[in-house]
Chains A and B, each alone.
Chain A
Amino acid sequence: MGRAKEIVVKVIPSSVANPFVKKHHYSGKVVANSSVHFGAFLGGVLHGVMSFGSSMDKRKVITLVNGTGWNEFLELNRMAFDDTLPKNAESRCISIAMKLIKKNAPHIKWVISFADGAQCGDGTIYRASGFVLTGIKPNKTILEFPNGKRFAGLSLEADFDSPTIAQLCRDMGVEHKYRTRSDWLKLGAKYVEGYMLRYIYFLDKDYEKKLTVPILPFDEIKKQGASMYRGKRGEH
């Protein structure tokens, strides 16, 4: 279908982006520190959202590219599309979003994103959009609890006083207090089986040379058994 060319990408407020992400993102959750949201419109109707913001572990992530200033990189931390967009829509939307970042925030040198190969996919869209693959790690991020709920470790630690974690504690029959990931593992949580894949898109191509970790060939995903497509392991 050639309709992908008709997609218009606009900056939208979080009040518009967040309900869409909650409905269409596989996690059903939004990332609190997203600072700019792009909406993908087709026929004047919102069909996709891309949320960018600071990385939760900014101090660690910044070291991936030498010479990066504190505010010179972003994380694409949520990307959600409904099923009505035509083929290739996602990569077209990313491409437009990157152009808008380049225009409005020229100090941003690169964008990092993580593909959740434990629950969603190994990053087909990122590969099609010009990201480079810089890491494949067994999942030590997403924990699954005996009640079936899943949480990111960082959320468990950073948002431990949230109503959601309070409810989790009630479900688990434990006191609501701060716990580390290992505390939760001792209480019965388990890491979801699968891999996390780290991708980087260089808005400033000079910064690619400053990468402190090697760029991995895409076939490494299959070699390491990290393939996943639409939630199905082993598919690419």
Chain B
Amino acid sequence: MKTPTHNIVYRPIVEIHELKNNPRIIKKDQFEKLKTSIKDNPDYFEARPCILSNRTGVLVVIAGNQRLRASRELGLTEIPTVLLEGLDEDREAEIIARDNVENGEWDYDILANEWEIEKLNDWGVETPWTKDEGFGTDFSLPDGEKGTMQTMSFTLSDEQAEFIKTQMALIEDTPETFGNTNKHGNQLYEIVKQWAEQRK
């Protein structure tokens, strides 16, 4: 059996520095879940320690910065770490990036059928489903008969619209309104009626 080349060591939290310009961010609620996870699962934290580099002469976390922050807020005095010595800047950057690559994806059908969604959410797994946010069962739909008026809409160029408006404004007398009180509607009807009569 292969022997590990690195040992997990509990180091004082005061000796460990956060990575400057850490490209990873965490939402507040996810951070709270991380804190709960560290508090409730120290064994899991130990099995997945923060990775440190001493390239600059101090111990800097290159994987596990959110866990370091969470541990500080929880008041932990020491955390599980693994020190990778002799890293150059490029290799450090690679590890920082690789640590945050999410490989694989969830099979949401299996999650939905075989896992408890509330627990998954508590554990920080974001599920894409919409939850029942207290939706009700009441609604209303229009009743009664169709009205005798209707609205029509057209798409016109500025020039066409201007021309039509000008012509409509010339119509003063609109004898056939059929009960319509909309001035523009009556003017438009009158123009179309006159056009139809001319075509007879």
- Residues of chain A touching chain B, judged by Cβ–Cβ distance below 8 Å, are 8-12, 16, 20, 35-36, 39, 41, 43-47, 69-71, 74, 82-84, 100, 103-105, 107-108, 161
Contacts and interface: CB of A to CB of B under 8 A. Distances in A.
A11 B135 contact: yes
Contact of A36 (B135, B141, B145): B141
Given A11-B137, A46-B129, A108-B141, 16 more contacts: A10-B135, A11-B138, A11-B139, A16-B130, A39-B130, A39-B132, A44-B117, A46-B132, A47-B112, A69-B145, A70-B144, A71-B143, A82-B109, A103-B137, A104-B141, A107-B141
B56 interface: no
Interface of B: 109, 112-113, 117, 127, 129-132, 135-146, 155
B155 A161 contact: yes
A69 B112 CA distance: 43
A144 to B, nearest CB: 27
Contact of B132 (A10, A69, A71): A10
Contact of A45 (B130, B136, B138, B142): B130
Contacts of A46: 129-132
B117 to A, nearest CB: 6
Contacts of A8: 132
Given A8-B132, A44-B117, A46-B129, A104 B139 contact: yes
A10 B137 contact: yes
B130 A84 contact: no
Given A20-B130, A161-B155, A45 B139 contact: no
A105 B140 contact: yes
Contact of A84 (B113, B142, B155): B113
Given A11-B136, A84-B112, A74 B141 contact: yes
A41 B132 contact: yes
A71 B130 contact: no
B135 A12 contact: yes
Given A8-B132, A45-B132, A105-B139, A70 B145 contact: yes
Contacts of B142: 71
Nearest to B146: A70
A69 B147 CA distance: 12
22 contacts: A8-B132, A9-B137, A10-B132, A11-B137, A16-B135, A36-B139, A36-B141, A43-B117, A44-B131, A45-B127, A45-B131, A45-B132, A46-B129, A46-B131, A71-B142, A82-B109, A84-B112, A84-B113, A100-B137, A104-B139, A105-B143, A161-B155
Contacts of A69: 144-145
B90 to A, nearest CB: 41
A161 B153 CA distance: 12
Smallest CB-CB A-B distances: 6 pairs: A70-B146, A10-B135, A46-B130, A105-B141, A84-B112, A45-B129
A71 B136 CA distance: 23
A84 B135 contact: no
Nearest to B127: A45
B109 A71 contact: no
B135 A45 contact: no
Contacts of B109: 82-84
